[in-house]
Amino acid sequence: MPTEGFFDHTAPMPHTSNLAPNVITDPSEVVLALNSPNLVPPPCPTNLKTGPTATLRSAMARFSHGDQHEGRRLAIDAAISSVTGFPFKQRSLERTQSFLDALPTTTTAGGDEQPDEATLNDIAQIIPTETLADALGVADADLGEVRRDIGLLAATIGRGAAASEESDCAATRLQDRFASHPGGPVATVSLLYQNHDATAALLIATHESCRTDTARRSALRQTFRVVESETILQLTQPEDGSPDKNLPEVIALPVGATVALSLQDLQVEFGAGPHHCPGKAMAQEIAAGIIVALGYR
């Protein structure tokens, strides 16, 4: 599966908007936008229809705002607190080593060959979710089912695929599985969902940096917000294309307008404001363990 376009997102473009997005790239302006109470996460896309997939999305913290988001964020924090102290780096390292050992030919960066793209993508899609699910108390025998179910939600809620009977069953199974978890079922499933593609993207970006001995690029490309109440943003635009000469530009945004926020600068890779990533340290530990297993330090 090709890397480009698969791990470079945080949320699909909202299907309900017919307006071209206003793109914000300056990191300081991205932070201001992410802290603005007038810019909110996009509504549920129409292709999720009605059913457990759409219902789960509507209950997630990352797609809410204001007082509703604050309460849901506390549940996410409780879910993360429940795995504090889990050896994420060591477990992801061990799982990656086991995965590589099971291949017909083990190819690590420390050997004669590096893992090919297909192998690296398999690792990225499997190891982070199974490591977190292990931390959440899922038995080894059930890890495959949890990984497949989270993969279905990542494809629909995260990447814009249409909801299906399979994704609806996955949403229901996962919430039933974590019904008694300290963080509650929605927050716990949300934690697995947010970890799935984002940590995979972090791994891909980190691996490329290690392989080429270059500075790491941001794992995530952009996220979207929708204007809830009419607002004005003051942005900077280059004068005559020169990055050294910036001019202020005031942009009036009507209700319903879409704003695309670039996350390609490492300063804002994990977001900012109320929706900043609560699992940053966990994701970094999981990715670091995989990188070590691949032969890098």
Residue 150 to residue 122: CA distance in whole angstroms: 15
Q: What tokens appear for 213 in the block?
A: 């001995």
Residue 196 Cα to chain centre, angstroms? 7
- Average pLDDT of every residue of the chain: 87
Per-residue pLDDT of 74-101, as tens digits, reads 999 999 999 999 999 999 999 999 999 9
| 198 has pLDDT over 70 | yes
Per-residue pLDDT of 218-241, as tens digits, reads 999 999 999 988 777 666 655 555
- The confidence band for 47, taking pLDDT boundaries of 50, 70 and 90, is confident
Q: What is the mean pLDDT of residues 139-146?
A: 97
Among residues 32, 15, 4, 29, the alpha carbon closest in space to that of 221 is found at 4
Q: What is the mean pLDDT of residues 103-107?
A: 67
Among residues 106, 110, 98, 287, the alpha carbon closest in space to that of 199 is found at 287
CA distances in angstroms from 90 to 41, 86, 135, 192, 246, listed in the order given:
35, 9, 12, 19, 46
- pLDDT > 70 fraction of the chain, expressed in percent and rounded: 84
- Residues, the chain: 297
What pLDDT shows up at residue 23? 85
Dihedral Cα 80, 158, 270, 144, nearest 10 deg: 40
What pLDDT shows up at residue 110? 47
Dihedral Cα 268, 69, 9, 78, nearest 10 deg: 80
What pLDDT shows up at residue 255? 85
Residue 139 to residue 161: CA distance in whole angstroms: 29
- The confidence band for 14, taking pLDDT boundaries of 50, 70 and 90, is low
| 213 has pLDDT over 80 | yes
What pLDDT shows up at residue 165? 96
Burial class (CB in 10 A: 0-12, 13-18, 19+), 210: middle
Q: What is the mean pLDDT of residues 159-172?
A: 95
Strand partners, 226: 40, 258
**Residue 81, φ and ψ in degrees, nearest 5:** -60, -30
Strand partners, 247: 237
Q: What tokens appear for 96 in the block?
A: 């990656």
Three-state DSSP state, 13 = coil
- The confidence band for 257, taking pLDDT boundaries of 50, 70 and 90, is confident
What pLDDT shows up at residue 6? 47
- pLDDT > 90 fraction of the chain, expressed in percent and rounded: 67
Q: What is the mean pLDDT of residues 151-162?
A: 94
Q: What is the domain class of 22-293 according to CATH?
A: mainly alpha
| Edge-to-edge strand ranges of the sheet holding 222-227 | 22-24, 258-262, 222-227, 39-40
| 297 has pLDDT over 70 | yes
| 148 has pLDDT over 60 | yes
Sign of CA dihedral 125, 271, 5, 206: negative
What pLDDT shows up at residue 1? 33
Strand partners, 262: 222
Residue 81 to residue 91: CA distance in whole angstroms: 18
What pLDDT shows up at residue 4? 39
| 200 has pLDDT over 50 | yes
pLDDT higher for 45 or 203?
203
What pLDDT shows up at residue 105? 65
